[in-house]
Amino acid sequence: MVSQLLDQARPGVYAIGMEQVNVLEAKTQLSRLLARVEQGEEIVIARDGKPVAILTPAVKRLPRVPGRLKGKITIGDDFDDPLPEEFWLGEP
- How far from chain centre, in Å, is Cα 7? 19
Q: How do residues 69-90 score in pLDDT, each as one tens digit? A: 899 999 999 999 999 888 888 8
Looking at residue 64, its pLDDT comes to 86
The count of C-alpha atoms lying within 13 angstroms of the C-alpha of 55, restricted to the half-sphere facing its C-beta, is 24
Q: How do residues 15-66 score in pLDDT, each as one tens digit?
A: 456 889 999 999 999 999 999 999 988 999 999 989 999 999 888 777 888 9
